[in-house]
Structure 1
Amino acid sequence: MNPPPVHATAVALRCADGWRGALLRGPSGAGKSDLALRLMAGGWRLVGDDYVHVFTSGGHPYAAPADRIAGRIEARGLGILRDRHLPLARVRLVVDCVQEAVERLPGPAIVTLAGAIVPALKLDIRAASSVALLAHAMRRL
């Protein structure tokens, strides 16, 4: 049985050690799906949009798409798009999506996700550099 879904979008980047997942959080309309689409255009893979199941296994947090919407992502003004997706990804970073300036040199941040400690990043997703910044953050983990 899946845990209850959380309101978030999950994407994954292929790195030397395999797929690394990022959980994009923020209120409805914050731009999580928009950021995910920009990441996917750069080679990232969708795990789940809008609602994902988050759970811990072996001390590590994972995200999986909600069954009803697996492989689908909302593109505002266009509708629901279908795309290939990963059925599961280990969450290596939690990203709080904001539309405001963020601290220039923040210290390390962590959050608890499904009982596991995970690095966190506050990201102004309006910036053209947000995709590159997130990719750099993922590769540094």
Structure 2
Amino acid sequence: MADAVRIAKQSTCVAIGGRAVLIEGPSGTGKSSLALRLIDRGGELIGDDSVLLEARNGRLFAQPHPNTRGLMEVRNLGVLPFACRDEAPVALFLSLDREAPRFVDSPGRITLLGVDLPYLRLWPDGDSLPLKTELALLHYGLTE
């Protein structure tokens, strides 16, 4: 049974190796573009621009919003259909932020629906953003 449910508007979520990365940032910072590049590297779309978050037994799970399930905006092409994963535990919260620090000693923390998550701010530009996301999940993401 769910402890709490919330809609994360203007958030995008991709599962990598079964663990979800929740990506937020202002409109136009590249959330959907990052998701597209992660999907190209083997990730699975959970949701674009609206994600359901559900706290269960001390874990946070991301699910596609029923209104946007399997749809992702691809800039210059429109809203396109994609394969979609039903849910995954959120292991990392990323914020695309042009004021992100150059380096960190450890991730920050953020609490969503009573669940504590590692939190990182990443510079949104550059070809290495998908690799940085995967490395952040590997080094700082929650494990099962």
TM-score normalised by L of structure 2 = 0.88
1:6 is matched with: 8
State the shift of 1:126 in Å.
0.6
State the shift of 1:99 in Å.
3.2
Which moves more between the two structures, 36-45 or 103-112?
A: 103-112
1:132 is matched with: 131
Matched positions, count:
137
1:30 is matched with: 29
RMSD: 1.7
Structure 1 unaligned blocks of 5 or more: none
Q: How does 1:92-131 map to 2 (within 5 A)?
A: 92-100=91-99, 102-131=101-130
Distance in structure 2 (CA, Å) of the matches to 1:102 and 1:128 = 18
State the shift of 1:76 in Å.
1.1
Paired-residue identity, %:
34
Do residues 74 (structure 1) and 73 (structure 2) align? yes
Letter of the 2:129 counterpart: S
Q: Are 2:45 and 2:83, in contact at CA under 8 Å, matched by a contact in 1?
A: yes
State the shift of 1:30 in Å.
1.8
Structure 2 unaligned blocks of 5 or more: none
Alpha-carbon spacing, 1:93–1:101, altered in 2? closer, same or farther (3 Å): closer
Distance in structure 2 (CA, Å) of the matches to 1:63 and 1:80 = 21
Q: For residues 92-123 of structure 1, what are the alpha-carbon distances to aligned partners after superposition, in whole Å with 9 as ceiling and x for unaligned?
A: 00000123453323433110011100001111
SS in 2 for 1:55: strand
Distance in structure 2 (CA, Å) of the matches to 1:4 and 1:57 = 12
Letter of the 1:109 counterpart: G
Distance in structure 2 (CA, Å) of the matches to 1:30 and 1:99 = 9
